[in-house]
């Protein structure tokens, strides 16, 4: 241990399962061990908690090597089954958080005609050009979704009161295969 945390060398050395290794998160022997797609082994509970407390759905990383991981591709070493089985087949009905918080520019996809960004809990310094706060719900215009590529496209019109110097945003979001995260995309505005 160094400064109260395990060194990168120790994490890497301990992370490959031999049936007796410690979990690199709790530093105890693994209970209900699971293995990420990058090959690292953790207690199932420890990994779930670590991923739940990630800063962003978009940046869920292996605590050992920082590769992108999710519970859908992480397997239990006891049952050889994924820790989570995806039941989500679309973005409809889903909410995607930014910064891990609802209402801090979170993306809501209730239906194709009800897609919006929520600013209900936006920080007080997020202001429109006239000094007012952004609305609780800012709808996407021209919303479309391509199922094959799992890509959402939409525009956000700020022309009546620009936000952060922009009058219009053009958004493109690509979703992971399990719909657990926004895995790519781009924005202009």
pLDDT band at 45 (very low <50, low <70, confident <90, very high): very high
Cα 166 to Cα 126: distance, rounded to the nearest angstrom = 13
On whether the CB atoms of residues 96 and 57 are closer than 8 A, the answer is yes
Three-state SS at 99? coil
Strand 137-139, strand 41-43: pairing: unpaired
pLDDT, tens digit, 9 for 90 and up, residues 111-143:
999 999 999 999 999 999 999 999 999 999 999
Instruction: Flag whether pLDDT at 154 surpasses 70.
Output: yes
* Single pTM value for the model: 0.57
pLDDT of residue 80: 87
pLDDT at 34: 94
Split at pLDDT 50, 70, 90, the class of 6 is very low
> Residues with Cβ < 8 Å from 155, sequence gap 6 or more?
140, 141, 142, 168, 169, 170, 171
- pLDDT confidence band for 10 (50 / 70 / 90): very low
Whether 101 shows a pLDDT value over 70: the answer reads yes
């Amino acid at each position: 241990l160094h400064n109260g945390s395990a060194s990168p060398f120790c994490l890497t050395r301990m992370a490959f399962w031999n049936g007796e290794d410690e979990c690199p998160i709790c530093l105890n022997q693994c209970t209900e061990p699971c293995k990420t797609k990058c090959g690292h082994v953790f207690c199932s509970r420890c990994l779930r908690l670590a991923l739940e407390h990630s800063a962003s759905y978009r940046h869920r990383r292996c605590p050992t090597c920082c590769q992108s991981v999710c519970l859908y591709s992480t397997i239990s070493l006891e049952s050889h089954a994924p820790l989570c089985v995806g039941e989500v087949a679309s973005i409809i009905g889903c909410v995607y958080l930014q910064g891990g918080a609802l209402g801090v520019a979170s993306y809501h996809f209730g239906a194709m005609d009800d897609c919006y960004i929520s600013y209900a809990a936006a920080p007080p310094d997020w202001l429109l050009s006239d000094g007012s706060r952004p609305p609780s719900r800012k709808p996407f215009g021209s919303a479309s979704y391509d199922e094959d590529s799992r890509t959402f496209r939409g525009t956000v019109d700020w022309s009546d009161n620009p936000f952060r110097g922009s009058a219009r945003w053009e958004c493109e979001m690509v979703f992971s295969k399990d719909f657990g995260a926004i895995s790519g995309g781009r924005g202009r505005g």
